[in-house]
Structure 1
């Protein structure tokens, strides 16, 4: 008798449970750290304490060694990882500020040296991928990394290398070329969500012949964005830059971690400001 009385009450609840939207793994599984705010992603350091380890060029093959920055805590599980290449004539020190800044937001970050400072973009692409392979297969922090959540970044020729690496390894989850340089202007083969960052006053890789055509050539169906830094030069990525950091963090969180809490910083698109000359995107992003 009691069962008969319970059934009518259970049926509506069961029906609601079947149709109610559930949080997907993509939305929740890889969330690391507290809910973000504008000030938290603009801060010079995020919520994670970090450590670092040097990697000698003698201990690796395919690239020139570098420095790995990583969150010290393992309480939230594994992290996504990013390899970052310097530009022409540059060493890892030229992009070194990004290491602890990104790592403190919940990523393993590898700022690399290239085989020579004169390596061209396609060589830097191969070196970025070799660095990711080392990071996930041989490095001392490999157990902290989720090998399915990887990305690449790079400055200048390293930015061109970033695009090529994404083209060559479509399983990458995010790519961010920083004032990128490449003789190839067509990137229709890229399948990795890509944030192109250019600089308004770049005389080395002018946006009109580099970052803008790079962005335009990416597939229209791709999650992509173009951020042009207001009044900045080609070398803006070589020193601490809050705008670069803020939108790079949001992009990496959104596409490497699938963390939709960061969508608010990307869609709707940020407007023109003293820091941003122009921003284009393909919002809303796919999930």
Structure 2
């Protein structure tokens, strides 16, 4: 008996040692945070789909009050999915599925339940795909569905395809148009703003949306040069006309938000030319009072993730609360909105944001159609928005490092340059 006890003890000790030294299972990566997100609906502008993948447990997505609703995240490339964590607000799903897709159209269910509990649910799953969504079929409350965070874990199997966008070069970025073919669409019934023309890539894929806002007495002509440039590099662009030519910056900020809301709605509406082409991420570019409006949209609307205020104008306003990436493009001889008056103080006060400031020769009109060096301006704006709205790091060398230096050090081209490099 003593021998058996000794043998058992020896075996137990050996097993304990084997367990102790066994390597831990490989940790899964958080794949969803900061990626483009879309949804079947949103309850209000302050609860967008993007809030469920922003890593901030103080912001949330919430749907309208109906049973069949979904939230989708685009991981950018096919990935192996091993775990999904749902951090519910009070409004949770009693019945739902977790589904994956390679193309955002055909879906495979990798988890299904009719007894959801709300709270924090950690689901071990086994699946793969570029797109992952939660599809709610029965609410647990009288409200809709609401998630503080929708977290997808796993391992990537490739690099983001970039929706067919080739590697950028100085020559291609300074050309009048990028690599994608584009088309235009006139918004039939603008809601909350005066008029809208959408320029979009005709190729298959989903892209960030960008709102273009003119300045005082301006029209869509102001930034018409920029719409096809951006669209041909993988953006769905709405060029906006204001309610009146004299709308102030605060009004222009609200109209940027309204145009963004309608652009996303058009992307979610079957039969429109941009149906399925919006990935839920928004940015904005504006001139003069429109640039002030861009700053207001970045401050007030969490759906806007990056902005380019050009020659921005907004008297007596503090934008230190803006935390999104912001590119200030100003004009050296601007007697209306010189950088020292508005953009530089805002730039200096924004301690939590990635920032770029470029001053170029010219007066207040230098960012407008038919003024200034559009090859360089276009290269910088396309690169900035590609980096911060699509997380496409192939564009970062044109903003930081040796490739950028040729522009930064050319005093005939740039009269002042500030940034938060390295990116």
Name the structure 1 match of 2:220. Answer: 92
* C-alpha separation in 2, matches of 1:280 and 1:42: 21
Residue 223 in structure 1 maps to residue 354 in structure 2: yes
* C-alpha separation in 2, matches of 1:213 and 1:272: 23
* C-alpha separation in 2, matches of 1:68 and 1:115: 17
CA contact (8 A) 1:186 1:218 kept: no
Residue 121 in structure 1 maps to residue 258 in structure 2: no
Structure 1 segment 4-43 matched on structure 2, within 5 A: 28-29=159-160, 31-32=162-163, 33-43=165-175
* C-alpha separation in 2, matches of 1:45 and 1:52: 14
- More helix as a share of residues: 1
CA contact (8 A) 2:221 2:369 kept: no
CA contact (8 A) 1:135 1:142 kept: no
Name the structure 2 match of 1:242. Answer: 375
Residue 142 of structure 1 and its aligned partner are, at CA, apart by: 3.9
* C-alpha separation in 2, matches of 1:41 and 1:89: 30
Larger Rg: 2
* C-alpha separation in 1, matches of 2:187 and 2:225: 17
* C-alpha separation in 2, matches of 1:282 and 1:66: 34
* C-alpha separation in 1, matches of 2:378 and 2:330: 14
Q: 2:388 aligns with which of 240, 244, 255?
A: 255
5+ residue gaps, structure 1: 1-14
5+ residue gaps, structure 2: 1-22, 33-74, 78-158
CA contact (8 A) 1:152 1:176 kept: yes
Residue 83 in structure 1 maps to residue 211 in structure 2: yes
Task: For residue 70 of structure 1, give the secondary structure of its aligned residue in structure 2.
Answer: strand
Name the structure 2 match of 1:209. Answer: 341
Task: For residue 256 of structure 1, give the secondary structure of its aligned residue in structure 2.
Answer: helix
Residue 31 of structure 1 and its aligned partner are, at CA, apart by: 2.3
Name the structure 1 match of 2:287. Answer: 155
Residue 30 of structure 1 and its aligned partner are, at CA, apart by: 6.8
* C-alpha separation in 1, matches of 2:355 and 2:229: 23
Name the structure 2 match of 1:265. Answer: 398
Name the structure 1 match of 2:416. Answer: 278
CA contact (8 A) 1:170 1:191 kept: no
Residue 232 of structure 1 and its aligned partner are, at CA, apart by: 1.3
Residue 272 of structure 1 and its aligned partner are, at CA, apart by: 2.8
Residue 138 of structure 1 and its aligned partner are, at CA, apart by: 3.0
Residue 262 of structure 1 and its aligned partner are, at CA, apart by: 0.7
Name the structure 2 match of 1:9. Answer: none
Residue 103 of structure 1 and its aligned partner are, at CA, apart by: 0.6
**Can you list the C-alpha shifts for 1:179-232, whole angstroms capped at 9, x where unaligned?**
11001342111121100111111111111102211211212x311111111x21
Residue 172 in structure 1 maps to residue 304 in structure 2: yes
Task: For residue 284 of structure 2, give the secondary structure of its aligned residue in structure 1.
Answer: strand
* TM superposition score normalised by structure 2: 0.59
* C-alpha separation in 2, matches of 1:205 and 1:78: 36
* C-alpha separation in 1, matches of 2:328 and 2:354: 11
Residue 101 in structure 1 maps to residue 233 in structure 2: no
- More strand as a share of residues: 2
CA contact (8 A) 2:190 2:196 kept: no
Residue 26 of structure 1 and its aligned partner are, at CA, apart by: 7.1
Cα-Cα RMSD: 2.3
* C-alpha separation in 1, matches of 2:260 and 2:161: 19
**Can you list the C-alpha shifts for 1:225-264, whole angstroms capped at 9, x where unaligned?**
11111x2111011125122211100000000000011111
**Can you list the C-alpha shifts for 1:115-165, whole angstroms capped at 9, x where unaligned?**
001000010000001001100113621420101x21011000000000000
Aligned length in residues = 262
* TM superposition score normalised by structure 1: 0.85
